[in-house]
Amino acid sequence: MEILMRQTCYRPAQSWKKCFTFFLMTLFALSLLIACAGPQVQKAPVKGVYHIVKKGETAYSISRAYSIRLQELAKINNIKDVSNIKVGSVIFIPDAVQVIDDVIAAAKTADTDNRRSTAWREEKASGREKTTAPVLTAPSDARPEGAPHRTPQVIDGADEDKRSAVETNDQAHPDNSKLAWPVRGKVKTGFGVQPNKTYHNWIKIACPAGAPVKAAARGTVIFSASLKDFGETIIIRHSNGFATVYTHLKKRYVKADQTVKKSETIAQAGEMDEKGGVYINFEIRRNGKAQNPLPYLP
């Protein structure tokens, strides 16, 4: 580099211009090398479930049952009036891993736990702390089945696939037939525990840009809108307690309450991942619980 600098700066007439240009080019090349050598940061997968509002449930009771702040729940789901949510509407619950069937009972349990915790803290602050701190968790039979746990249980991926396959053998399919593939492509990420120990409720399907996304079975659209972190999203309710979820879409062609047929085009693929590949995420849920989609597909 020193010899090159001397050769470049030798001519006195334009030496300062050439030296300055060479200096800028050298800095630019070095910055490119540093940028390419830097670590690649990938987004952590988002966890969560879709809760269908039932009669008697409110935004407050749902937030209490799932242990999420009401303001955060409203912001994520674009709820403008938390005092008025419609029965049958779909609410996304971040970080939850299971759908709660009895929100009212779960909310009461959460309130009871909170009152016990507050009373214990006040007792401790007043100097009347007991020798043994009270147990703050409710009895096992007081928490409804399906209550969410913030830390998902790590299960061996092979065992999870086997368990899901066994379950589907004993379960009916929507319309008692195999589902249709939502898009033509290749499965890039499977269901369940990933190599980095995170848990996916979906499969990731790589596909061409602009590929049509089709309904896996006939049913009724219960959600068609944009969700934070999931992009354009469609949820279809099917028979036998099944629902299918399609996320990271580019365009949606159906609206809520619309009836769709099996293999009917409902959307278009086009959203890209960190590597620039087009994909969609596809979920199957039965009675609110995530299922491995592969055993249900042909």
Residues in CB range of 132: below 8 A, 6 or more apart: none
Alpha carbon distance 260, 218 (integer Å): 5
* Residue 7 binned pLDDT confidence (cut-offs 50, 70, 90): low
Alpha carbon distance 60, 128 (integer Å): 33
CA-wise closest residue to 70 among 101, 91, 52, 50 = 91
Q: Which residue has the higher pLDDT, 84 or 179?
A: 179
The two tokens of residue 5 are 């600098």
* Residue 153 binned pLDDT confidence (cut-offs 50, 70, 90): very low
Q: Tell me the mean pLDDT in the region 235-254.
A: 94
Report whether pLDDT(24) > 80.
Answer: no
pTM attached to this predicted model: 0.57
For 191-223, write each residue's pLDDT tens digit.
988 898 888 889 999 999 999 999 999 999 989
Question: How much is the CA Rg of the chain, to the nearest whole Å?
Answer: 27
Least confident range of 14-28, 84-98, 124-138 = 124-138
270 alpha-carbon distance from chain centroid: 18
Residue 162 pLDDT: 44
Residue 81 pLDDT: 86
Report whether pLDDT(243) > 50.
Answer: yes
Q: Tell me the mean pLDDT in the region 65-71.
A: 89
- Helices (H), ranges, the chain: 2-8, 15-37, 59-65, 70-76, 103-125, 157-170
Least confident range of 11-25, 37-51, 183-197 = 37-51
Alpha carbon distance 206, 273 (integer Å): 10
Q: Tell me the mean pLDDT in the region 95-112.
A: 83
Highest mean pLDDT among 4-18, 36-50, 165-179, 239-253: 239-253
Q: In the chain, what percentage of residues exceed pLDDT 90?
A: 32
The mean of the pLDDT values for the chain is 76
Q: Tell me the mean pLDDT in the region 128-149.
A: 41
Residue 289 pLDDT: 82
Domains of the chain: 2-30 (no CATH), 46-151 (3.10.350.10), 157-296 (2.70.70.10)
For 158-185, write each residue's pLDDT tens digit.
444 444 443 444 456 787 788 999 999 9
Residue 22 pLDDT: 67
Report whether pLDDT(129) > 70.
Answer: no
Q: Which residue has the higher pLDDT, 104 or 173?
A: 104
Q: How far is CA 157 from CA 152, 189, 194, 203, 260, in A?
A: 13, 12, 7, 13, 33
CA-wise closest residue to 247 among 269, 265, 263, 264 = 269
